[in-house]
Amino acid sequence: MKFSWFPSVVTCLLIGSALAGCGSHDPERPVATPSSPSPSTPSPQGNAISAATLRAALIRNFRGAVLDDGDVQFGKPIDSGPLAELDHSSTMELPGIVPEKCKDTAREIDATRTPHAPAAAITLRKSDRETATQLLVSLPASEINAALARRVQNTCRNFTVPGGGVMRFEDFQPPSIGLGAHGLRTTLKPPAGNPYPPTSGCTITFRTAGGKALGIVGYTATKPSNSCPLATTLARQLHPRLHP
């Protein structure tokens, strides 16, 4: 399979399925919806934060990145409602790009476990290769803890993608964004002779709203040294916007 290194595809791949909404559900795999909950799925707590409140907390302008309502969109520009209905919770389907065993590496939340969870997401874009995304979800403490505990499998830290490019995933501890925050740094290096530069992505996952909600921020940039500092800055700005 020949892989075309278009910036928009690279951005989808790096941001991750819990944020970007740039994939689609496997038609042969059942998807939980608000009308078909699983008996074992945790239900929203009585003190769940409404989707409207989550949506109001999202940042709509960040360092020149604004609401993505142009020709290149990664899911709907802004959306809110039950997590299972958000485009941003779609499973990333890029066959042949990510090894089967590593397909969930960049996914922080499994929407099929908490389909009713109130959620809101937004995509900001500065250019085709520089985007910022935010996702806020009101979840039970057990689901928040599980999301923050996710780590990259050793066998998925480095692998070659079709065409000879190399993808790398690296866990890290982001500073000063609440207890237990987790960072995931991703770098996609194109093969020699490819016209596109390496693309770097960074995802920060953190507790917010006094432990009643999970926040996920992602940032992609063509300069590898920029993605994690900018993702961290955005997460720090978003973290206090939901008061306990």
Q: What CATH number did the domain enclosing 189 receive?
A: 3.40.1000
Is the CB of residue 236 less than 8 Å from the CB of residue 208? no
- Among residues of the chain, what percentage have pLDDT more than 90? 30
More confident call, 225 vs 9: 225
Q: Has residue 207 been placed in a domain?
A: yes
pLDDT at 25 over 60: no
Residue 214: the pLDDT is 95
Residue 190: the pLDDT is 81
pTM: 0.81
Its domain, for residue 164, covers 7-24+50-241
d(CA 176, CA 173): 9
Confidence of residue 17 (pLDDT cuts 50, 70, 90): very low
Residue 91: the pLDDT is 40
More confident call, 141 vs 26: 141
Least confident stretch, 14-18, 56-60, 116-120, 214-218: 14-18
d(CA 132, CA 60): 10
Q: Has residue 211 been placed in a domain?
A: yes
Q: Has residue 195 been placed in a domain?
A: yes
What phi and psi values does residue 196 have, to the nearest 5 degrees?
Answer: -90, 145
Residue 108: the pLDDT is 74
Q: Has residue 233 been placed in a domain?
A: yes
Q: Has residue 2 been placed in a domain?
A: no
pLDDT tens string 158-213? 888 777 788 888 999 998 787 789 999 988 888 888 777 788 889 999 999 999 99
Q: Has residue 40 been placed in a domain?
A: no
The SS3 assignment for 141 reads helix
pLDDT at 241 over 90: yes
| Residue from 80, 87, 71, 68 nearest 17 by CA | 87
The CA R_g of the chain, rounded to the nearest whole Å, is 17
pLDDT tens string 30-88? 333 444 444 344 444 567 899 999 999 999 989 888 886 654 454 566 788 998 887 65
pLDDT at 95 over 60: no
Helices (H), ranges, the chain: 7-15, 51-57, 141-149, 224-238
Average pLDDT in the 144-161 region?
A: 89
| Residue from 42, 1, 22 nearest 145 by CA | 42
Q: Has residue 32 been placed in a domain?
A: no
Number of separate domains in the chain: 1
